[in-house]
């Protein structure tokens, strides 16, 4: 068993890599690329809405390295989430965020046309920082606050100068496109209407053309902004080298190799760490499914057992027909009808329309009570259950048919087995035959079904969460898809894929406990 478990755990690594790479390629190849919805809307993230779609695209390309091949982008992302990391160690800010060594700055396009050489990064030195260990609590807090403020200012100045450079280079590319068209440079413009810089660079500048003056002015502006960005980066690099914060992870080879926590990146559609967003939305989905899944099993398994025991009876046929009818009813339509008739004030109005809590839930007591005026107050627990009634109802009714039919089929198969006939011939009570022999040997398909249901607890129900305006994991995944938010999508993919693989491994272990004939020697 131990050898089998180790082998399965090791096989999870290439499986996860394959799943995430497939999702990575799909996202990168989607029409519009990363952030297509934000670009269409003209805003989002840290990008200034007034700068235009082209500058936003340049910002995303710079942030994610979209100009590199997909394999290079994926390897870079894989390096961030891997516990084994290369290069200088990250540093942990007092609020838990990570400070990293600043990225290299790309040179402006065709800079050779506008300057003899690129401006070099200035040399910036920072005085060694005094250790904080010997300071008192108040002095240490002041020192940490001062270091954090200095870092934030330098980081903000670097980001602003970098964005200014991106804005200038984007405008320069637009001017070069007009220049290539006016100069009639063959193959100078690509199918996506972007200038082919390598083709244009192979030609000789033509100052006599009317478009050249704009190209030259924007080229010189790009050189100047490149110098500003290099100076701001040098300042951040000097601060980072001074190690103002605690280093992350455990070093193996100094400045070369270290072990650290996985970094799933920042969701640009929300400008928040991806795992923070998942941590906010996951409890909502878990709350729904922790109630829904036990209800499905508590109703479907006993009814499936009774249907198998009373095969062909009115109970068996009638219950099966009801379950199949429920399974055939679309969840979307059920949710809409539930809101329209059970929640709407125009009809029954017995349930809330949306959300999982009242607007004043923070002021409610935890348990229900009667206030001094004799009025009933539901309390926080009943308020949550009241809001969850319709979503849970829509979650459970389709599961009854599948699980009940599976239980019935598995038990009927075992009822015809030789060991059941032998047990009955020996006079074993019917109750023991059903529970200890038939039902126990029917657990394997039920375990398999639970393995497929359990990951859905984390993935969330897109339909239910959308219909009832519940911001769970399904809602978060749809939002990530709409905005082409690669970091958020991949973080969800890793989590759901890992849970699926662990659930499959757990199923194998449960098989061995449920059936002694199953062994992994």
**pLDDT for res 172:** 92
**pLDDT for res 49:** 41
Residues in the chain with pLDDT values less than 70: 31-64, 67, 134, 358-367, 370-372, 374-377, 454-460, 516-521
Structure tokens at 166: 């991106």
Structure tokens at 11: 């096989």
Domain boundaries, the chain: 89-261, 276-482
**pLDDT for res 217:** 94
Provide the β-strand partners of residue 267: 272
For CA atoms 511, 323, 295, 345, give the dihedral sign.
positive
Class of domain 276-482: mainly alpha
The Cβ-side half-sphere exposure at 166, using a 13 Å CA radius, reads 22
Helix (H) or strand (E) holding 296, with range, is helix 274-309
**pLDDT for res 23:** 86
**pLDDT for res 41:** 45
Provide the β-strand partners of residue 92: 98, 246
For CA atoms 128, 133, 135, 139, give the dihedral sign.
positive
- Global pTM reads 0.75
**pLDDT for res 226:** 94
């Amino acid at each position: 068993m131990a050898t089998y478990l180790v082998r399965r755990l090791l096989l999870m690594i290439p499986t996860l890599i394959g799943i995430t790479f497939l999702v990575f390629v799909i996202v990168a190849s989607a029409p519009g690329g990363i952030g297509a919805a934000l670009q269409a809307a003209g805003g989002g993230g840290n990008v200034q809405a007034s700068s235009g779609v082209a500058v936003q695209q340049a910002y995303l390309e710079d942030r994610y390295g979209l100009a590199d091949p997909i394999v290079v982008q994926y390897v870079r992302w894989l390096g961030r989430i891997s516990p084994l990391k290369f290069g200088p160690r990250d540093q942990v800010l007092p609020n838990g965020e990570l400070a990293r060594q600043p990225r290299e700055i790309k040179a402006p396009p065709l800079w050779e046309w506008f300057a003899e050489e690129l401006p070099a990064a200035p040399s910036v030195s920072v005085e060694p920082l005094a250790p904080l260990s010997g300071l008192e609590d108040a002095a240490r807090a002041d020192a940490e606050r001062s270091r954090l403020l200095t870092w934030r200012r330098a980081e903000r100045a670097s980001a602003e100068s970098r964005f200014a450079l991106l804005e200038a280079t984007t405008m320069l590319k637009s001017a070069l496109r007009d220049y290539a068209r006016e100069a009639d440079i063959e193959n100078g413009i690509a199918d996506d209407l972007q200038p082919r810089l390598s083709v244009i660079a192979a030609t000789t500048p033509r100052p006599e053309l009317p478009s050249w003056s704009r190209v030259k002015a924007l080229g010189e502006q790009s050189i100047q902004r490149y110098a500003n960005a290099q100076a701001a980066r040098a300042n951040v690099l000097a601060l980072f080298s001074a190690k103002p914060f605690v280093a992350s992870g455990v070093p193996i080879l100094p400045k070369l190799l270290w072990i650290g926590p996985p970094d799933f990146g920042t969701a640009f559609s929300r400008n928040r760490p991806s795992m923070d967003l998942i941590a906010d939305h996951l409890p909502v989905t878990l709350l729904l499914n922790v109630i829904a899944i036990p209800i499905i099993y508590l109703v479907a398994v006993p009814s499936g057992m009774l249907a198998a025991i009373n095969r062909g009876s009115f109970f068996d046929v009638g219950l099966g027909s009801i379950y199949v009818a429920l399974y055939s009813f679309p969840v979307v339509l059920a949710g809409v009808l539930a809101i329209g008739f059970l929640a709407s004030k125009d009809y029954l109005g017995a349930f809330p329309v949306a959300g999982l809590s009242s607007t004043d839930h923070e002021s409610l007591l935890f348990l229900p009570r009667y206030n001094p005026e004799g009025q009933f107050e539901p309390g926080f627990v009943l308020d949550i259950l009241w809001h969850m009634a319709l979503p849970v109802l829509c979650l459970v009714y389709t599961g009854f048919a599948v699980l009940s039919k599976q239980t019935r089929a598995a038990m009927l198969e075992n009822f015809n087995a030789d060991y059941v006939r032998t047990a009955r011939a020996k006079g074993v009570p019917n109750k023991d035959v059903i529970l200890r022999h038939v039902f126990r040997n029917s657990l394997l398909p039920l375990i398999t079904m639970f393995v497929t249901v359990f990951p859905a607890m984390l993935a969330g129900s897109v339909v239910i969460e959308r219909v009832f305006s519940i911001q769970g994991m399904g809602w978060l995944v749809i939002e990530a898809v709409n905005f082409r938010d690669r970091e958020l999508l991949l973080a969800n993919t890793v989590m759901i894929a890992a849970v699926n693989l662990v659930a499959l491994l757990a199923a194998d272990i449960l098989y061995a406990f449920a059936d002694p004939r199953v062994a992994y020697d």
